[in-house]
Amino acid sequence: MTALTKPQPDGTADPSSEHAPGASLHFPVIDWFDEHARDLPWRRPEAGAWGVMVSEFMLQQTPVNRVLPVYEQWLARWPRPADLAAEAPGEAVRAWGRLGYPRRALRLHGAAAAITERHGGDVPADHAQLLALPGIGEYTAAAVASFAYGQRHAVLDTNVRRVFARAVTGVQYPPNATTAAERRLARALLPEDEGTAARWAAASMELGALVCTAKNESCHRCPIAAQCAWRLADKPAHDGPPRRGQTYAGTDRQVRGRLLAVLRETHGPVPQAALDRVWQEPVQRARALDGLVADGLVEPLPGGLYRLPLT
Ligand code: SF4
């Protein structure tokens, strides 16, 4: 039995239904997805579970248009986890390019090594086994199990959280960090049927990415506008804590990015003097370099030389 409820012609829920809380949302969002989903390489069958996993690592903090070229090169070079595991972790950092937050490259390399050792090179389908891999958290385990293996899991990314906050909770933005209440809501909204739940996960995420965006939401194109709690309440302004900004210029992140760019573009050790040229302020520069070393992204060598990690 499924929890699906056909909506009324005006998009509202069938008042006679006795179904799961999100039942009236499922059909319109999934139907919309069937018509409007972007054709992205990790959604094609040939991507396989490894392609889905790579894409999830890359997409966590980077927009689709920047991920696409790096994803294609990555999968062409390392079509299976064992191919990546056989390379030095520094090669993963190099290939990560300018996606940002490069610790993700190291984590993906670590996950590939564990998949090769523990699972014969195949990305496991079991949620608990996925979660046990290094570098894989609740979100990625659920996303891979759902998108690659069609399982029933609540997949709560920023886009989904925003859609649920607006459509169901009736507020403009979700909390800064995912709460237990959001997880409970996401589980309560899951369709009972496994295949439908997997479609719902992908569809609600796409709705947040394309229609219910952080700024300038397009309610006139939204398949659940007639039942959206925030819209029906005349869109009350956000009254929670200030939302986290994404400043980059002048931050240690920017300095780290510049230092790593020099190391990525040089095959072999780099002298300190070459790194010193990327940022004038010496204290911040030293802090950024120390941070990269502490994170395992850069390996210091005798004689004031640095390189991407070999082990
Ligand atoms: S109606 Fe507008 S605010 Fe509500 S879910 Fe749709 S796009 Fe988002």
Decide if 269 is inside a domain. Answer: yes
For 118, the token pair is 């523990």
In this prediction, residue 41 carries a pLDDT of 97
In a 10 Å sphere around its CB, with 0-12 CB exposed, 13-18 middle and 19+ buried, how is residue 174 labelled? Answer: buried
Number of domains in the chain: 3
Among 24, 163, 204, 215, the mutation site with the greatest number of ligand 1 atoms within 8 A of its Cβ is 163
Query: Residue with the nearest Cα to atom 2 of ligand 1?
Result: 219
How remote is the CA of residue 221 from the centroid of ligand 1, in Å? 9
Q: Which atom of ligand 1 is least distant from the CA of 235?
A: 3
CATH code at position 226: 1.10.1670.10
Contact 183, 162 (CB under 8 A): no
Task: Tell me which residues are annotated as active site.
Answer: 56
Query: Quick one: pLDDT band at residue 22, thresholds 50, 70, 90?
Result: confident
What's the pLDDT tens digit per position in 258-269? 999 999 999 889
> How far is residue 163's CA from residue 229's CA, in Å, rounded to a whole number?
10
Phi, psi angle pair for 94, to nearest 5°: -65, -45
> How far is residue 248's CA from residue 194's CA, in Å, rounded to a whole number?
41
Residue with tokens 């900004």: 245
Q: Are residues 54 and 112 in the same domain?
A: yes
In this prediction, residue 14 carries a pLDDT of 42
Indicate the residue among 183, 204, 232 that finishes a domain. Answer: 232
Among 36, 217, 234, the mutation site with the greatest number of ligand 1 atoms within 8 A of its Cβ is 217
Query: Quick one: pLDDT band at residue 7, thresholds 50, 70, 90?
Result: very low
Which residues approach ligand 1 with their CB closer than 6 A?
163, 166-167, 211-212, 217-219, 222, 224-225, 228, 230-231
Give the mean pLDDT of the chain.
91
How remote is the CA of residue 175 from the centroid of ligand 1, in Å? 17
Q: Are residues 262 and 225 in the same domain?
A: no
Parallel/antiparallel/unpaired status of strands 270-271 and 299-301: unpaired
Phi, psi angle pair for 98, to nearest 5°: -105, 30
Q: In what order do the strands lie in the sheet with 305-307?
A: 270-271, 305-307, 299-301
For 209, the token pair is 């990415």
In this prediction, residue 247 carries a pLDDT of 80
How remote is the CA of residue 144 from the centroid of ligand 1, in Å? 26
Q: Which atom of ligand 1 is least distant from the CA of 218?
A: 7
Domain range enclosing 280: 252-307
What's the pLDDT tens digit per position in 44-87? 999 999 999 999 999 998 999 999 999 999 999 999 999 999 99
pTM: 0.87
Query: Quick one: pLDDT band at residue 21, thresholds 50, 70, 90?
Result: low
Indicate the residue among 204, 232, 260 that finishes a domain. Answer: 232
Contact 194, 154 (CB under 8 A): no
How remote is the CA of residue 227 from the centroid of ligand 1, in Å? 9
